Structure 1
């Protein structure tokens, strides 16, 4: 069933569709996590970061559309799909473990902050929850996945570039979502 977004004349995405997009974004991020783009000033950016940045706003939309139970289903589905895909593709166990732990910890932390601020504005919820989850996810994943294989400088560059890119891309997604949301629903 598709529901129209109030006052917009276009269909709103159901929690089920949002959950599928969320799991797909994390899958694409994990499939490209060890491919890097060198950026001037910012250092190395994982291609996976580009996909993963959408996850933060998708999860916030799932939270708004279906509440905490829908978010927990999304996190569980993403963890399951990504773990199975990684094992089938022969992804090194350190990447599988790093991804699993970073997603679990980062997403649950974000959900907790978002839920505590549920009666605040959309922007307050999104910015505060991302302020916690983005660095937590970036630091945890990068250290677990690359420590010992890359220099401290490269790891620092990856963490810095990931955080900057995730904030920028998540802000663009959030702005797009916010522009499509009637003022009363925000």
Structure 2
């Protein structure tokens, strides 16, 4: 959930990457894919889905809190400082980014959970790393397209948005594959040893 909130704030910043423009939230967000699978493995699909909803609610609460703080007038002693003047400007995209994040997170999380469950139903406890890779590789493109489209369409040139989507897919996939072996750190929902 913390990774989701950080990703929402960091996504306001578009940075350069070897793959093209990238919202900086992508630097931390891939953790959520494998962490969701860890929760799924340990506590089951319902717990993974509850975590997805809770992370979305926490992200929305953080955005609302940021908006409230931005609406409160700055103290007259510091009201003319650059940080005070630009606070609202810098974080003005945060609510739209949070909406994009929550929609993308819930849709891709649901899809990830379905893919993970399908793999388990088909292969049982075999292919643990395969089920994580399969579910993540299915949900990452959906998450990237929904997020970038909702967050930036009309705000950034379409060519930049396409670049963000492609960069997101490449980086999220690479980081997800690096993080995926972490699935072996937990036992199954029934407490049995890791296969």
Please give the TM-score of this superposition, normalised by the length of structure 2: 0.77
Unpaired runs of at least 5, structure 2: 68-91, 188-192
Cα deviation, 1:95-148, whole Å, max 9, x if unaligned, reads 222111101100000001101111141122111111211000000000111111
User: 2:111: which partner in 1?
Assistant: 109
Cα distance in structure 2, aligned partners of 1:29 and 1:54: 10
Q: State yes or no: 1:74 paired with 2:48.
A: no
TM-score w.r.t. length of structure 1: 0.80
CA RMSD of aligned residues (A): 1.7
Q: Which residue of 2 aligns with 1:88?
A: 65
Structure 1 residue 176: deviation in Å?
4.2
Larger deviation, residues 112-121 vs 49-58: 112-121
Runs of 4+ in 1 over 3 A off after TM superposition: none
Larger Rg: 2
Rounded Cα–Cα distance in structure 2 between residues aligned with 1:137 and 1:159: 9
Gaps of 5+ in 1: 1-22
Secondary structure, in 3 states, of the residue corresponding to 1:108?
A: helix
**Inter-partner Cα distance in structure 1 for 2:186 and 2:66:** 39
SS of residue paired to 2:15 = strand
**Preserved contact between residue 15 and residue 24 of structure 2 (Cα < 8 Å):** yes
The number of residues matched between the two structures is 161
